[in-house]
Structures are given as structure tokens and as C-alpha cells.
Amino acid sequence: QSFILILAVFLPHYCVTCFTTHPSSVIGPTSILLSRRSSNPLTTIAMSDTQETPQRSPLEANTVWKHVNHVLEEVNPSLTEKLGISLRPITDWKESFKGDNQSLDAPLYFGIELVNTGNEKKKDQISFLSFYIGYSTWEGLCVFVDELGQMDNNSQNDYDAINKDQLFLQILAKIAVRLGSKRLTWKRRPPHPTWYQSNPVGPPSILEELHIFHMDQEAMKVYVNHDSSEPSLSSTVPSLDRSSVEVQSKTILESSSFASHNKFSMRLANANNLQDAQAMHRLVEGLAIYVKEPLEDIHCDASDYLVDGSGSHPLYYTFLLETPEETDSNKSGPEPAKLTCGNAIVYFGHSYKGGRYLYLEDLYVDQAYQHQGAGSLALKVLTTLALKMNCQSFQWLALDWNQPALDLYQKKMGAKIQEGKKVTRYTDRKLKEFADGFSKTLVEM
């Protein structure tokens, strides 16, 4: 159990991680909380009775598409002139990939076709880019690359030689910057392309110290002693909307397997509940203090968590761990109030090749309640949720030096390391500079 908590504690800087109604409905139109990230380009202006207050809106897919289209309008003329290709949004996966029988319910997964414009009689789709929106409790919205043409090809071929992967990553970086993301992250096996070193911005950060862990469905079933005959794992894929996740979570948490825990209980954070958002923020700061990181590195607060976790397809979900407050056992009366002592923060990702998965961004328990079973409870609940939502895998990151933890994940949970793949990313100022280098990269091709 202690190893699980150590994993969660040391990951906030590395992870690329609910509340459903607008926060103003909770705290009133004249007392809206100011976000630490109010400079985000997605910010809108909300008028109160007496003042004008900056306020962000929940992210919706159509907002992402608006920014994608803006970037494509910017880059397509030069791509067509220089390379004879253009980019267009993938709005119907079945139509674009007729042979693949693709039908996905991934509301925050986005695809862009690369179309050959050199032959006007036949504009063939030659490849595609794709990305999804994830979440970090320290940075907020993050953009993750899924498919980038032949980026995962280990051979040094013409594709790598002309640095198209650099060019396409710069296009996705432009989208990330417009969305207000401070991270563009991808996974890649070596050998690394030569542009990593020749790029004027400098090479991306390669997080060599991190292992990417995943459990497939069979491993998840074994870990939670799941009965494969249950109808919850039918061919019908549950929707990823908030209401569906709420129903499945409620069913799991009220089951005899988890409702009877002798010390801890767990619940999905209440929609519109400012106290839950503040509890989440306290725990995120507690994690930072625990690992002796400055609180100034946390760029999100309770108001951000309320907005980013709202809407029909929130960017993340928070599960709160609770324990009864200590009372005089000799006194009769109502059940004691519950104290929030930990949280687990997850989001649903998607891979074109691997399908839907659940990603664990944070798992933290207050030090006074560690080593008592709270972390194990959280992992069992989340694994069961991944199965209920028909996720193909459950994923997280772990530090390579923590051998006892690695043994726990592999030997007791049945998790496996994605051998060779490493988390790679551009962040903050370097992300903006990398995006701005698109024109120079294209000229040099």
C-alpha cells in the first residue's frame, strides 16, 4: 500500500489527468471565483450585476474543432504549395476509414486527415494525425498525440529523413497553444529522429525515469476477481457522458465488495459542489508539500477544477476517499460525519489502435491515513470502473527506481510495462517556440 502512495506522490509533474454545472450556479453570479488560469484563451467574459468578471467555460468538442480549423486554415496554403498535401478534420471515422470499421465514442479524441492534393482527379487520404485531451491537476488541460503518421516506425526511412513528424507535431503544438495547453505529449520508442537535436528550440523532454504501466482486460478481471459472465462486459460500449459514468460508479460503490469496507468509503465528487473542489485542491497541495515541491508550481485551484470537471464530458473525474471522524464510541446518536482523507483523479483516453482506456492521473491519501487500505480500495474501484466502462486497459506512470512498487504492480496487479516507449513532451515556453517554428521547418524541407 505504501508503494502505491509513493507512486501517486511523485507523479504530478509528469502526468499528462466532477462537477457538472457552471460554478456560478453554486456561488452566485456576483461572487465568481477568479481562476489562476484566467489568461486561458478559452476564457469568456461573464457579466455580474455589478462587475465584469473573467470566467472560463467548460471545454466542448466544438470549441476544440474551432481552434483546429483555425490552425488548418493557417497552415494548409503553405502545405499545399510546398508538399502537395492539405489537412482536413475527420468528422466521420467510418467514412474516412471504410476498411477499418471504426466507430468510436471518444468525445475528446480528434483526427485530422492528410490529403494528397497533387492529383486533382483523386485526392486520396494518405495518413492521419490524432490527439486527445487529457488533464493535469497542476497544469489543467493537456494535449496528447495518439497517431502521427509513421512516428512509431523504428526504421530510418524517407519519412523521417524529411522530418515530417517534426512538422506535424508543430501543427499539433499550434493547436495545443490555441487551446491554452501547457503540454504537448507523445510516446515514442528509440531511435529518436535527428531533428530532436537539430531543432532550434532544443530537444523535447524525454522522461527516461518513468515507466508506462497498463493492465489489459484480462489482468483487470483477475485483479478484482471479476465474473466474466456478468452482462456489464457485453459488446455494448457504455457512453462516456457524465451521467453514464455516474450510474456505473454508483453501482460499483454500493456493491457489497466496496460498501462494507471497515474504515474507508469512496464516492464520486458531487456535481457543483465547491466544498468537494476545495477538498480536491487541498489534497493536490498536500501532495506537493509531501514531496517538497513549491505550491507556486500548481497553476490550478478549486475554481479551475469546477470548470474543467463540468459539462456533459468533463476533462477528468475525482473520487474522494472518506473516513468517519473520531467520536466517543460510548455515546449514541447519528452516524459521525465523514472526513475527506484522499482522492483519485482519472480521465478516459482513447487510442486508435488500442481503444478506450482509463488513465490514473493522481492517487493521494493524507499521511495520517496511509498504509491502512485506502489506496488499495481506490485501485480496486477504479479497475472495476474501467471494466464497467468497457475500457481495453487501465494505465498510469511509475518511477523506475521504486523497485518494490514495480514488483507490486507487476506481480500482484498483473500490470505490464510498455517496453521501450517513453513519455516525450514540449512544455510552457518551449512549446510555444516549437509551434512558432513550423514555417522554418517547412521552408527547409
First-to-last C-alpha distance (Å) of the chain: 52
Q: What is the identity of the amino acid at 200?
A: P
- CA dist., res. 3 & res. 213, Å (int): 15
Q: How far apart are CA 184 and CA 173, in angstroms?
A: 6
Is residue 115 a contact partner of residue 86, using CB atoms and an 8 Å limit? yes
Pairing between strand 422-427 and 393-399? unpaired
β-pair type (205-206, 125-136): unpaired
pLDDT value of position 304: 94
Q: What is the pTM of this model?
A: 0.84
> Which secondary structure element, helix H or strand E, spans residue 64, and what is its range?
helix 61-83
Which residue matches cell numbers 493522481? 362
Between CA 29 and CA 55 the distance in angstroms is 11
Element (H, E) at 425: strand 422-427
DSSP alpha helix (H) spans, 121-223: 158-161, 164-179, 195-198, 217-223
- How far is residue 166 CA from its own chain's centroid? 23
Give the per-residue pLDDT at 314.
95
Distance CA 305, CA 270 (A): 12
- Nearest Cα neighbor of 383 from 174, 272, 169, 217 is 217
E strand or H helix that includes residue 238: none
Edge-to-edge strand list for the sheet holding 393-399 = 265-268, 317-324, 338-351, 355-365, 393-399, 210-216, 416-417
Torsion sign (Cα): 398, 5, 218, 240: negative
- How far is Cα 171 from Cα 159, in angstroms, rounded to an integer? 17
Q: What is the pLDDT of residue 289?
A: 85
Report the amino acid identity of residue 82: K
pLDDT in tens, the chain (445 residues): 333 443 443 343 333 333 333 222 222 222 223 344 544 545 443 333 333 434 678 899 999 999 999 999 999 999 999 999 999 999 888 776 654 545 577 899 999 999 888 755 455 656 899 999 999 999 999 999 999 875 444 444 444 444 689 999 999 999 999 999 999 999 998 888 999 999 999 999 999 999 999 999 999 999 998 765 454 454 577 899 999 999 999 999 999 889 888 899 999 998 789 999 999 999 999 988 877 889 999 999 999 999 999 999 999 999 999 999 875 555 555 667 899 999 999 999 999 999 999 999 998 999 999 889 998 899 999 999 999 999 999 999 988 887 877 888 899 899 999 988 999 999 999 999 999 999 999 998 8
